[in-house]
Structures are given as structure tokens and as C-alpha cells.
């Protein structure tokens, strides 16, 4: 799956879970400070992303996902590994 | 006659009401922050004389009155609690003694916030198999005894209270088959360490993630009871946090159900939260006798249990 497909998918999840405007979702944005996604919403985003992209994102790795770009790269790598 | 039913429910809510503003005087938080993260606006905190035994007994007396039976008719008293003041003795026998349940067996069950649902399942099975005719299930908690009042991530959640239910025989299974399971590998996610450290600790994100992925299990409880999620009149999950309740319930498909949100007023009372929330909905006249309602408890262990029951 391409980076832009993953980005688009993440934007849809962020809109549904946390009401984030998809237009605001770009690779350089941080989830917490820029997109105002709190820690519990972040968990919901991760759970939804696991299902949507058929990947596993363990708790210990979630902390390293600061920006949308971090998540896109992680999902792409995890998808290839699977 | 191989079914069981809920005959009556009773509760006890401690007198003292604590607001988010009250907590903000002690820890760095605010009403807006607590409400947006947890949904909680107020909680009840027990006074010293509102013990597990006292609160549990008062809730039990109301449940017995609602069921129309005398304590002497009870064959078993099951107390669900995870906040006994000490490990020894358990409080279940003291509640049985105070009530005058002279011929009942009595014991405690510690299944954290799933305690009421587990105890109800055990009670139902005892009645169905015939080892008991009437069983009293009590859930009483004083989480405030184990709260770190300087930890703003947990002190905003925890609260006290008690609920009770009388289970008796019925021609059909008004208390449906239970679904249960555990993730004991995550035992550390909710804990009071013990050995001198008696304060409640929780890894909130780990618990949140575990809880919101239990939706398929919740649906399974409906399947076992032969009730479609759309036929449920009520959904009463453990009142941990409104965010968990909303995320968990969203996936069930209980489109016509009243969803319990007692957490807003009562905080997280662990095992007591389901009977407290159930009672509030019944008192509000939102459910009728015989209506199918889903109960689902989950928490420390980690462990969970749930079932569909018919309203008393």
C-alpha cells in the first residue's frame, strides 16, 4: 500500500474517532499537539488502524508514533512484514 | 423449573458528594479536563462508618425488600469486592450475619470490576442446579481507601458505593448464559501492589485498548441468550469511564437500548457499578419488567464477564 493511501486511510480514521478535519492531516503534524488527539483517542486510532490496514501495533510502539508521518511509515513497514 | 431470575435490586450511595472542582483543589486538574477525558462530573466518597459491610448490608436489605423475601430464606451470600479493608477476614460472612441470613453460606469473590457479573453468574448456576434456592449477590467497594489522592490520573476516577441483587428460581432462563475470559498476562495494568504499597495504579491506555476491543465478546453474550443486539432494551457496562462505554457500545449494534451512564454522577465504583447503574435506570422508569438488558463487567485481573438478564 502506498504512503498516500495510508495517509488517506488515517485521515478518515482521525475524522471518525476524533473529529479531525482530513485536510489538516499531513505527514508533519503531531497527533497530540497539532491535531489535538488525546491519549485515549490515540488508542482508538491505533485499534482502528490495526483493523483497517491489517497490521499489529503493540502498546510499546504506540509511544514512538508522534507524527502522522511516523504512523504512515510504521504501518507501511508492518504491512510489508506481514 | 431450571431457570433463574433477578428478583430485586438494591443500592447504597455514600452521602458525601465530591465534584471535579473539589479535586482540583488538591491536584492539577479541572472540571473541563476530567469531563472530557472520563465523562465524570461527580462521585460519592464513603465516610469512615460507611464500610464495605455497612454499605453492602444496606444495599442488600433494599434488594431483599424488592424481592419480597426474608434474609432467613437465603441459601447463599456472595460478596463481590476488591477493596476489603484487609485480606482476612472476608466481608461476605459479616454481611450475612448482619442481615440475619442464618442458614446461608457466605464468601467473597474478587474479580475486580467484573465481580458483580461473575457473582451473578455463579448465583444463577447455583439456583439452576439446585444447590441454592435464593442467592444474594452483593457488590460493595471503597476504592477511596486505596486511592492515591495526589495521582491525578486515577483519583479523578475512583469512588465508593454498593449494590445488591437477589437471584431465585424461574421457569425459564431470565439470567442468560455468561461469557467470560481473562488476560492475566496484563495483570499489572490495574493493581494495588501490596506488601506495604496499598495505592491503586493503572496503565490507562493499556486498559482502554483492552476494553474497547471486547465488543465481539459482548455480542457473543447476546448470541448465547438468543437476543439480537437490536432487541436489547438496556446496556449496562461496567462504569469505568464514559469514553470506554461509548467506544464499547458503539460496536454492539444495540440501536434501541438505553445505555447506562451512571459514571457521570457516580464515578468508577468497580464491582458495584453495574448494580448502581442498573438501579438508576430502573428507578428512572426507562425499563419494564422482563426487558432484556446486557450486563458486562471488565477490569482488574484482567478479567471480564457478561450476560443478558431480564429486568426484575
Q: Is the domain covering B179-310 a CATH 3.20.20.105 domain?
A: no
CATH 3.40.47.10 range(s) for chain B read 3-170, 179-310
Q: Which of B110, B134, B268, B311 is catalytic?
A: B268
Q: Read off φ and ψ for residue B16, nearest 5 degrees.
A: -80, 125
The greatest distance separating any two alpha carbons of chain B, rounded to the nearest whole angstrom, comes to: 57
Which helix (H) or strand (E) covers residue B241, if one does? Answer: none
CA distances to A44, B85, B251 from B243, in Å: 10, 30, 13
CB contact under 8 A, A62 and B206: no
Measured distance CA(A19)–CA(B277) in Å, rounded: 29
Tell me which DSSP letter residue B177 carries: P
Look at residue B91 in the predicted model and tell me its pLDDT: 98
In angstroms, what separates the C-alpha of B218 from chain A's closest C-alpha?
17
Residue with cell 495504579: B201
Answer whether B116's CB lies under 8 Å from B303's CB: no
Q: Tens-digit pLDDT profile for chain B (312 aa)?
A: 699 999 999 999 999 999 999 999 999 999 999 999 999 999 999 999 999 999 999 999 999 999 999 999 999 999 999 999 999 999 999 999 999 999 999 999 999 999 999 999 999 999 999 999 999 999 999 999 999 999 999 999 999 999 999 999 999 999 999 999 999 999 999 999 999 999 999 999 999 999 999 999 999 999 999 999 999 999 999 999 999 999 999 889 999 999 999 999 999 999 999 999 999 999 999 999 999 999 999 999 999 999 999 999
Q: Read off φ and ψ for residue B42, nearest 5 degrees.
A: -140, 165
Measured distance CA(A29)–CA(A34) in Å, rounded: 6
Any catalytic annotation for residue B311?
Answer: no
CA B245: distance to chain centroid?
Answer: 14
Nearest CA in chain A to B250: A17
The ipTM estimated for the assembled molecules is 0.85
Answer whether B221's CB lies under 8 Å from B243's CB: no
Host domain of residue A73? 3-81
Query: Which residue numbers of B have CB closer than 8 Å to A's CBs?
Result: 36-37, 204-206, 208-209, 212-213, 243, 247
Chain-wide mean pLDDT for chain A? 92
Measured distance CA(B74)–CA(B76) in Å, rounded: 6
**pLDDT per residue as tens digits for the range B82-128:** 999 999 999 999 999 999 999 999 999 999 999 999 999 999 999 99
Measured distance CA(B215)–CA(B309) in Å, rounded: 18
Look at residue B92 in the predicted model and tell me its pLDDT: 98
Class of the B3-170 domain? alpha beta
Identify the segments of chain A with pLDDT beneath 70. 81-82
Residue of B40, B183, B247 to mutate for A, most A C-beta atoms under 10 A = B247
**DSSP SS3 for A30:** strand
The pTM assigned to this predicted structure is 0.94
CB contact under 8 A, B205 and A38: no
Residue of A18, A37, A40 to mutate for B, most B C-beta atoms under 10 A = A40
Total structural domains within chain A: 1
CB contact under 8 A, B205 and A62: yes
Look at residue B1 in the predicted model and tell me its pLDDT: 60
Which helix (H) or strand (E) covers residue B228, if one does? Answer: none
Q: Read off φ and ψ for residue B97, nearest 5 degrees.
A: -65, -50
Nearest CA in chain B to A40: B205
Look at residue A39 in the predicted model and tell me its pLDDT: 86
The three three-digit cell numbers of residue A42, written as one number: 490515540
Amino acid at each position: 500500500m502506498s504512503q498516500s493511501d495510508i495517509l488517506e486511510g488515517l485521515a478518515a480514521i482521525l475524522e471518525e474517532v476524533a473529529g479531525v478535519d482530513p485536510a489538516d492531516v499531513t505527514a508533519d503534524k503531531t497527533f497530540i499537539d497539532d491535531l489535538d488527539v488525546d491519549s485515549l483517542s490515540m488508542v482508538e486510532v491505533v485499534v482502528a488502524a490495526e483493523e483497517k490496514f491489517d497490521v499489529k501495533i503493540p502498546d510499546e510502539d504506540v509511544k514512538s508514533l508522534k507524527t502522522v508521518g511516523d504512523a504512515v511509515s510504521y504501518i507501511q513497514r508492518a504491512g510489508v512484514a506481514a | 423449573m431450571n431457570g433463574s431470575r433477578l428478583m430485586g435490586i438494591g443500592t447504597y450511595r455514600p452521602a458525601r458528594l465530591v465534584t471535579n472542582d473539589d479535586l482540583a483543589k488538591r491536584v492539577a486538574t479541572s472540571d473541563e479536563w476530567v469531563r472530557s477525558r472520563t465523562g465524570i462530573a461527580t462521585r460519592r466518597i464513603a465516610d469512615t462508618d460507611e464500610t464495605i459491610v455497612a454499605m453492602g448490608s444496606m444495599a442488600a436489605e433494599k434488594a431483599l425488600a424488592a424481592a419480597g423475601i426474608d434474609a432467613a430464606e437465603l441459601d447463599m451470600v456472595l460478596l463481590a469486592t476488591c477493596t476489603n479493608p484487609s485480606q482476612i477476614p472476608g466481608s461476605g460472612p459479616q454481611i450475612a450475619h448482619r442481615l440475619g441470613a442464618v442458614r446461608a453460606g457466605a464468601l467473597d469473590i474478587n474479580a475486580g470490576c467484573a465481580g458483580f457479573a461473575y457473582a451473578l453468574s455463579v448465583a444463577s448456576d447455583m439456583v439452576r442446579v439446585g444447590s441454592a434456592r435464593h442467592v444474594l449477590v452483593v457488590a460493595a467497594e471503597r476504592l477511596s481507601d486505596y486511592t492515591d489522592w495526589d495521582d491525578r490520573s486515577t483519583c479523578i476516577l475512583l469512588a465508593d458505593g454498593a449494590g445488591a441483587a437477589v437471584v431465585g428460581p424461574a421457569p425459564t432462563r431470565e439470567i442468560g448464559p455468561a461469557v467470560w475470559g481473562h488476560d492475566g498476562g496484563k495483570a499489572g495494568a490495574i493493581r494495588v501492589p501490596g506488601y506495604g504499597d496499598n495505592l491503586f495504579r493503572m496503565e490507562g491506555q493499556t486498559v482502554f485498548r483492552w476494553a474497547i476491543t471486547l465488543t465481539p465478546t459482548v455480542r457473543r453474550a447476546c448470541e448465547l441468550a438468543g437476543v439480537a443486539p437490536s432487541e436489547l432494551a438496556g446496556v449496562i457496562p461496567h462504569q469505568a469511564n464514559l469514553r470506554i462505554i461509548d467506544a464499547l457500545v458503539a460496536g454492539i449494534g444495540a440501536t434501541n437500548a438505553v445505555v447506562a451512564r451512571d459514571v457521570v454522577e457516580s464515578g468508577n465504583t468497580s464491582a458495584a457499578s453495574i448494580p448502581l447503574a442498573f438501579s438508576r435506570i430502573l428507578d428512572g422508569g426507562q425499563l419494564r419488567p422482563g426487558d432484556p438488558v446486557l450486563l458486562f463487567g471488565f477490569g482488574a485481573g484482567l478479567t471480564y464477564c457478561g450476560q443478558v438478564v431480564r429486568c426484575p
